[in-house]
Structure 1
């Protein structure tokens, strides 16, 4: 099935992904992982919630940790171009029959809560409290030295349907994997901000969040993080990598937080701002698709994901499989 043509004039204007909201069982353990090990900065906290940002970010937060009885994802959030886009988004989702609600979120202006075609929770806002720049306060840099949140990747049972829905709201495909036998998409990378992706879709039981990614300055930051994790009690949280993806060309590492939420540490992809940029196609069985150096991903990478709060995932409708490490 061919990927859709880029939708350059969507019904409302999404600028980029913004932040993720995790439910975590042990708030202190999660705080230690994200602050002391990864190096995110606390912007506010209380007994129930911790707000975090990365070093280049001026918005109040890119991650919210909520104390919860269950490990889950509460929502994925996006920033729009201006206040008018919120009303346009509400009208568009309502016309599609999706539930919409104006919700109060700390440190944000008017916020629209809705969901995609699978029920995956989405929130949109324009205004978030701005904080002073800290990207040159080098005494604050620690851990992997995260600069900014980069993308989400989600398991979905039908990648073609997900790409079609998100294309309607302006997400453009940069790279994709196609199963030659069925001519269906196995995975796709889509963006708004001009990188390889703001949100990607991987074939599997879903919707579930596969991972949230943070951009770091260099591959050496990833090596430093591995040394730190290996000597501070987190060696079993290292799942895959380091390596370089064929898709996106990114240097990567996948790790798991104390609740099992997967985090990718990521650098070295490329610019995709041209509206006529051609998407790159990959064969599902190409070993360099997963890792340019040829190493296959572990089975956990294809099976483990974070559930969304109150949403039951459905099995994939595509039985094709990539190469999986023994």
Structure 2
């Protein structure tokens, strides 16, 4: 069911690192991420804002870039362990006729832009400037004082195909979602918790969401409270709830440009080699949430496009148990 994993990959990706988003109103987006999520501004000017979680020492995990329309995702960032892993990555992508280009990225060491086989734009670096962690500067906390960036979820027309690509790069599955023999969701990791990159079947590539951890479960409700008090109440899209896979408490919010961000209460450990991935059956409602109602249809089908990347629909149309479908079936019963 799952592709084989290369446990000695050609270069060593260590974790999800940072994400670059375009926004139409930089000040408004800054307000959302600092006062609702509680991220810290590391550096900013009139066209870009670099933010990080209060637990993070590296310069940025979220980069907001001013653009005329906003609403796109520029890059998903991953860290590699050593600088020479970047050279190995460059060769690996070029040998497979996949894009690979050296770029200059402020506040980062050598940086490589690559794309996976379906066109997802990635940014690899091995080093980044650091700043003091803010996790015990309690007097400065705002909003949910999000701790650190944890993972991304992307939509892909063929989950198995993309899962095989990342498995060859050493990504392992903590859990996976199937319908019969079809792989619908792959929850993959490098850093030894259960997720760095989730791949779910859908029109793509598109960035479905990115996620920050919080230190206490109550901080999930704090994010909702601050969203409501600061005029972003409608941005609370799904939850609070508890995931079926993983079992984490969560809430999903949409920022002023429609980018989806998750706030959740961390993950379990998966680093030991003998731990096998957990299979979930998509026919079970509990894969959506342990309790509560299913998500709205837009949660499944809306996502942030990548700049100048052609999207492709899956061969089999998706028909998840949405809130709209659930309520319609309840009325008909």
CA distance in 2, matches of 1:208, 1:217: 29
- Aligned position for 1:46: 45
By how many angstroms is 1:58 displaced?
0.7
2:214 equivalent among 213, 216, 222: 216
- Aligned position for 1:312: 310
* 1:4 lines up with 2:6 in the alignment: no
- Aligned position for 2:121: 121
Within a 5 Å distance, the mapping from 1:258-273 to structure 2 comes to 258-273=256-271
Are 2:35 and 2:226, in contact at CA under 8 Å, matched by a contact in 1?
A: no
- Aligned position for 1:90: 90
By how many angstroms is 1:325 displaced?
1.2
By how many angstroms is 1:35 displaced?
1.0
Structure 2 runs not aligned, ≥5 long? 325-333
CA distance in 1, matches of 2:178, 2:293: 20
Q: Give the secondary-structure state (helix, strand or coil) at the position aligned to 2:267.
A: coil
By how many angstroms is 1:199 displaced?
0.5
- Aligned position for 1:287: 285
Are 1:43 and 1:61, in contact at CA under 8 Å, matched by a contact in 2?
A: yes
Instruction: Write out per-residue CA displacement over residues 216-236 of structure 1, whole angstroms, 9 at most, x where no aligned residue.
Output: 012200112212212221111
Instruction: Write out per-residue CA displacement over residues 92-142 of structure 1, whole angstroms, 9 at most, x where no aligned residue.
Output: 011011121110000001001110011110111111001122221111211
- Aligned position for 1:198: 196
- Aligned position for 2:182: 184
* 1:163 lines up with 2:163 in the alignment: yes
Q: Give the secondary-structure state (helix, strand or coil) at the position aligned to 1:118.
A: coil
Are 1:9 and 1:170, in contact at CA under 8 Å, matched by a contact in 2?
A: yes
By how many angstroms is 1:294 displaced?
5.0
By how many angstroms is 1:268 displaced?
4.1
CA distance in 1, matches of 2:175, 2:114: 27
Are 1:254 and 1:262, in contact at CA under 8 Å, matched by a contact in 2?
A: yes
Are 2:39 and 2:54, in contact at CA under 8 Å, matched by a contact in 1?
A: yes
- Aligned position for 1:173: 173
Instruction: Write out per-residue CA displacement over residues 264-289 of structure 1, whole angstroms, 9 at most, x where no aligned residue.
Output: 00114211111221111111111111
- Aligned position for 1:299: 297
CA distance in 2, matches of 1:110, 1:231: 42
Q: Give the secondary-structure state (helix, strand or coil) at the position aligned to 1:35.
A: helix
By how many angstroms is 1:317 displaced?
1.9
Instruction: Write out per-residue CA displacement over residues 68-95 of structure 1, whole angstroms, 9 at most, x where no aligned residue.
Output: 0232011001110111101111110110
Instruction: Write out per-residue CA displacement over residues 221-268 of structure 1, whole angstroms, 9 at most, x where no aligned residue.
Output: 011221221222111111000000010111100000000000000114
- Aligned position for 1:143: 143
Structure 1 runs not aligned, ≥5 long? none
- Higher mean C-alpha displacement, 34-43 vs 250-259: 34-43
* 1:22 lines up with 2:26 in the alignment: no
| Structure 1 ranges of 4+ moved more than 3 A | none
- Aligned position for 1:207: 205
Q: Give the secondary-structure state (helix, strand or coil) at the position aligned to 1:247.
A: coil
